[in-house]
Amino acid sequence: MNMIRTLTFILGSIFGSMALAQTNVTVDVQLSKTKGGSLRAALCPSENAFDTEKGCVFLAMEATGKMVPLTFENVEPGTYAVKIFQDLNGDEKMGTNALGIPNEPFGFSNNAMGNFGPPSFKQAAFEVGKEPLVIKLKLRG
C-alpha cells in the first residue's frame, strides 16, 4: 500500500509538472526614430484573441533606448502572436488618423504586415515550447 502511494505521488509529480510547463517569451523591440512614451504589447494565444484582444496578456514599459526588451512570464507552450504599439501621447490607445491609419509606431511578431490593415494571426504566429524564447520586432511608423 505504501509503495502504491509513493508511485502515485511520483507519477503525479512528473505529469503535473509536464502539464504546468511554462517559460518566458522576451520580445526585443527595436524602436523607430521616435523615442519616449511607453510600449504597450499584447501576447495573444489565438486568432480570436488577436482580433479582439480578449484573452491576451498585456505588458507596458517605458520606451527608452534603441532596443527595449519586454518579457512575458509563465507562458504555456502553444501558438501565439504579439502586437505592440508605442503610446506617444499616453492615452493607452493606438492613435490613428481620420482614415484609421496608425499615427503612432507599431509592430507585430515576425515583423508581419497586412494589406490595408493589420496582419492575420497566421502571419504573426510563432510557437512557444518549453525553453525560453526571444523574438525580435521592429516598430514601424
Flag whether 42 is in a domain. Answer: yes
> Model-level pTM?
0.83
Cell numbers describing residue 13? 509529480
88: domain CATH number is 2.60.40
Alpha-carbon distance 135 to 30, whole Å? 11
What does DSSP assign to residue 50?
A: H
Q: What is the pLDDT of residue 7?
A: 42
Number of domains forming the structure of the chain: 1
Flag whether 4 is in a domain. Answer: no
Flag whether 83 is in a domain. Answer: yes
Flag whether 77 is in a domain. Answer: yes
Per-residue pLDDT of the chain (141 residues; tens, 9 = 90+): 544 554 444 444 444 444 568 999 999 999 987 778 999 999 999 999 999 999 999 999 999 889 999 999 999 999 999 999 999 999 999 999 998 889 999 999 999 998 888 999 999 999 999 999 999 999 998
Q: What is the pLDDT of residue 141?
A: 86
Flag whether 16 is in a domain. Answer: no
Flag whether 118 is in a domain. Answer: yes
29 φ/ψ angles, rounded to the nearest 5 degrees: -100, 120
Q: What is the pLDDT of residue 47?
A: 97
Query: Range of 133's domain?
Result: 22-138
Of 95, 89, 118, 106, nearest in space to 29 by CA: 106
Flag whether 10 is in a domain. Answer: no
Flag whether 17 is in a domain. Answer: no
